[in-house]
Structure 1
Amino acid sequence: MILSRYERMIARRYLLPGKGEAFILLVAGFSLGAVMLGVAALVIVMSVMNGFRAELFDKIVGLNGHAVVQGIGGRLPDWRDIVAQAKATPGVTSAVPMIEQPLMSSYNGRVEGVLIRGMRTEDIRGNASLTGNVVMGRLASLTPGSGRIAIGSRLAESLGAQIGSEVSLISPQGQATPFGTVPRIVSYTVAAIFEIGVYDYDKAYVVMPIEDAQTLLLMGDAAGMVEVQTVDADKVGPILAPLVEKIGNRAVVSDWRTMNAQLFEALAVERVAMFVVLCIIILVAAFNIASSLIMLVRSKTRDIAILRTMGATRSAMMRIFITVGSTIGVLGIVAGLLLGAVFLFFRQGVVNFVQLVTGQNLWDPSIRYLTELPSKPDPAEIVAIVLIALLLTFLATVYPAWKAANTDPVQVLRYE
């Protein structure tokens, strides 16, 4: 929409009404602020939701793989054959045997439920989710028969354990006696403490060499499962289809979507719901723009009539008032994008400040899984937000501009 010189001049004049029209300027300011807050809220919420999903996906898949091959009854006696078949499957990048079993841990009279994870030493050192998040100690000291383990940071806090502490692991699979089965209790030295960033993992996981886990659980040479990584997590089903046929009834293959279906489906539904609800804020801002333009048209009726008698066309009036309303919308959108970017950059500081002022724990990791507020802006979504805001703003200017264009100068100036 190209404006002539006089149209641009009038549009600039109407964007800053005179002294007697301060109320119109106030309403226009509220409209700009509403657009700014609506756009900022959409950008912030969608970025945080994207970051939450991405962080959860990276941490869950990084530790649990894209899929797992679980043995019937929790045992895989022929795990070496399954590992070889998995690695030979096109699209599979790694296959890691492991043992995973819930047990109890005890230290200094404190008892916590834990999840034992036994892995080969080369797999422990090659797992980026573990090696990249060690806060104390060294994973390299975890060797078969050493009696050393690595535990999560939250578990260490709950037990009061540190590097060098002797933590007892209690297994119900013990020796049978005339009085029943005696639980098996074995003490291990804490050699490393890690913090993955997912509360449930940091609170429960105990990592040890697979040989030690086999000894603790009396499993002999068997493994519990094989963790599989593929080239594309979204295509894990088709990639592993040949492996499922080869395995047959020996084991069950479960991918990350099956194991975490409820969590990721809930996140997807919440993203859509939040997007729709926050779009209503922009819609309300668009109504504010429409109301401010309607008041501007009514206050400028005499000016419009004079312009029409001087030769201004209906289309010129339409362009002037559409430009005024669209300018308010564009300024609000730009301000909203800047506000959203600033908030996302200082998001954790804002959360900490609000927690300090209110005394409330707004980001409890035991409820929200992650230890920090994540963020991952999506350029495509931001473009969509801008386009939606522009469209609603433009539609809000059409009716007031049409009323201005249809002003009858004869009726207005009859008694002047």
Structure 2
Amino acid sequence: MIANQALKDRPFGTYERSLAFRYLRAKREYGGIAIVSILSLVGIMLAVAALIIVMSIMNGFRAELIDRVLGNSGHIRLYTQNYPTLELDELAAKLESDREVQSVIPLVEGFVLASSSGVAQPGFVRGISPTDATKLPFLQSDLFSGSLDEFGDGRFGGDGILLSERIARGFGVRAGDSITLIAPEGASTMGGVVPRKKTYRVVGVFEIFAGNANPMDDALILMPLEQAQLFFNFRGQYPFMELKLTDPQAVEAIARRLDAEYLPSGMPYQTWKQIYRGIVGALEVERSMMRLIFAVLITITALNIITGIVMLVKNKGRDIAILRTMGASRSTILRVFLMIGGILGLAGLVLGLITGILFCVYIEPIQDALNMLTGGAIWNPDVYGLPYIPAQIDWFEVSFAAGYAFLVSLLVALPPAWNAARLDPVEALRSE
């Protein structure tokens, strides 16, 4: 009676769990779990850890790339050339009062030909007010040379400009030297169209990112907003306004809300994801493909569970037959061996989670140790412009790895568990 009652325990109850753990703990000579199942546990652990580590490093590089791309630009660009300056100033004040908008920056932009000491190369000028310039990330620390003190001083913003370090290096100039800028559109005079050019004084040299990691370093020139309006013939106009948001990843939803609440009807705008859709699309494809590759890897390692459970079922055929004759149902036997696969998968994914997360958390000392062993061959900061490999843990990826590994472990354990449940007790005892 007591044995019968135990055999009819609730699904996945104490009796079924004790059987599953008993079979897992049994030594191999007593028909216990095969070594191949232990190896499958290790394989799941390594696959889950690799998925978390690789996706975290990819997320870190993605965040760094976005920071570099957006380090000099906003998250939403408004095209405001046809609107009066007074109206735009009022709009900027309203937008800056929104909780999801960090700042609104009026801009004048244009391409120029820069020349100095007989050397000429193209440049990209961004006209920005001195106050807004201090909000740019790469100008919030010490400049490569010079300072921001004289930027914007003088009539109509003065004649002081800021150069990127690589332009300054190409011209051989530094803070205090002069450089001539020529606009592509000339000025109309009685004698015809003459090139619009002016000589400016370099008051500072900045570096967006070290390690030649940002293409804007090759061309960027910052000019006071008022001076840029004069130079590019945009007097009293802001051709563009850029918005910095508190959450750049939610830019589409925020842009739609701001358009409905603040923007004049018909004012065109673009989000950074639209402007850089090629980069965003490539990153998304890369992320999806890497997730797929590691999902296949987890599946392959989990398939070894089938071999282990098949061998366990064969070794425990007599036990299964006795349990069936004592009243255990087929569903009980199925659940016992299904739990064995689930336990192996769960143990593997837990160990993988711990390994992967600890690796990402302590990636800097790990990198230092590897660099010491390999003589600095693992990571060269001068090439990438980063002191360490970036790793940013994405808890969605962690959840995906854990959920997928556990689900696959149950699915691959189902066929041998089903065969164990269908085992004929008479045939099993006869073969013994």
For residue 115 of structure 1, what is the aligned residue in structure 2? Answer: 124
SS at match of 2:49: helix
In the aligned structure 1, how far is the partner of 2:259 from the partner of 2:294? 40
In the aligned structure 2, how far is the partner of 1:374 from the partner of 1:264? 18
Q: Unaligned stretches of 5+ in structure 2?
A: 1-11
2:246 pairs with 1:240: no
Q: Which sits farther off after the overlay, 319-328 or 332-341?
A: 319-328
Note closer, same or farther for the CA distance 1:242–1:408 as it changes in structure 2 (3 Å cut).
closer
1:267 to 283, 299, 309: 283
Structure 1 stretches of at least 4 aligned residues deviating more than 6 Å after TM superposition: 19-22, 175-180, 354-364
* CA positional deviation for 1:390: 1.0
In the aligned structure 2, how far is the partner of 1:123 from the partner of 1:161? 25
**Kept in 1: contact 2:182–2:195 (CA 8 A):** no
For residue 191 of structure 1, what is the aligned residue in structure 2? Answer: 204
In the aligned structure 2, how far is the partner of 1:383 from the partner of 1:347? 21
Note closer, same or farther for the CA distance 1:148–1:180 as it changes in structure 2 (3 Å cut).
closer
Q: Which sits farther off after the overlay, 270-279 or 177-186?
A: 177-186
2:301 pairs with 1:285: yes
Letter in 1 for 2:427: Q
Note closer, same or farther for the CA distance 1:357–1:189 as it changes in structure 2 (3 Å cut).
closer
* CA positional deviation for 1:277: 3.0
SS at match of 1:65: coil
SS at match of 1:245: coil
In the aligned structure 2, how far is the partner of 1:156 from the partner of 1:306? 86
Show CA shifts across 1:310-335 (max 9, x none).
77664554344233322221122122
Q: Unaligned stretches of 5+ in structure 1?
A: none
1:84 to 86, 90, 113: 90
For residue 44 of structure 2, what is the aligned residue in structure 1? Answer: 35
Note closer, same or farther for the CA distance 1:300–1:19 as it changes in structure 2 (3 Å cut).
closer
Give the number of aligned pairs: 402
Q: TM-score, normalised by structure 1?
A: 0.77
Note closer, same or farther for the CA distance 1:410–1:110 as it changes in structure 2 (3 Å cut).
farther
Note closer, same or farther for the CA distance 1:415–1:212 as it changes in structure 2 (3 Å cut).
closer
Letter in 2 for 1:186: T
Note closer, same or farther for the CA distance 1:374–1:201 as it changes in structure 2 (3 Å cut).
farther
Q: TM-score, normalised by structure 2?
A: 0.75
Q: Which sits farther off after the overlay, 224-233 or 37-46?
A: 224-233
Show CA shifts across 1:28-80 (max 9, x none).
233123312332233234334444444455555564223223355xxx68334
For residue 311 of structure 2, what is the aligned residue in structure 1? Answer: 295
For residue 28 of structure 2, what is the aligned residue in structure 1? Answer: 17
In the aligned structure 2, how far is the partner of 1:68 from the partner of 1:379? 31
SS at match of 2:152: coil
For residue 9 of structure 2, what is the aligned residue in structure 1? Answer: none
Percent identity reads: 28
In the aligned structure 2, how far is the partner of 1:192 from the partner of 1:241? 40
Aligned-residue RMSD, C-alpha: 4.2
SS at match of 1:239: helix
Note closer, same or farther for the CA distance 1:110–1:337 as it changes in structure 2 (3 Å cut).
farther
For residue 6 of structure 2, what is the aligned residue in structure 1? Answer: none
**Alignment of structure 1 residues 361-380 onto 2, 5 Å:** 373-380=389-396
**Kept in 2: contact 1:150–1:194 (CA 8 A):** no
In the aligned structure 2, how far is the partner of 1:355 from the partner of 1:3? 52
**Alignment of structure 1 residues 148-297 onto 2, 5 Å:** 148-155=160-167, 164=175, 166=177, 168-173=179-184, 181-182=194-195, 184=197, 186-196=199-209, 199-217=214-232, 219-229=234-244, 233=251, 234-241=253-260, 244-245=263-264, 252-297=268-313
Q: Which sits farther off after the overlay, 304-313 or 110-119?
A: 304-313
**Kept in 2: contact 1:10–1:320 (CA 8 A):** no
Note closer, same or farther for the CA distance 1:97–1:389 as it changes in structure 2 (3 Å cut).
same
Letter in 1 for 2:19: E
Show CA shifts across 1:2-33 (max 9, x none).
3438525523334x5349989x30x2233123
Q: Which sits farther off after the overlay, 173-182 or 27-36?
A: 173-182
Show CA shifts across 1:107-149 (max 9, x none).
6776553321121111112x15234454534334423346443
**Kept in 2: contact 1:87–1:94 (CA 8 A):** no
**Kept in 2: contact 1:134–1:195 (CA 8 A):** no
**Kept in 1: contact 2:31–2:316 (CA 8 A):** no
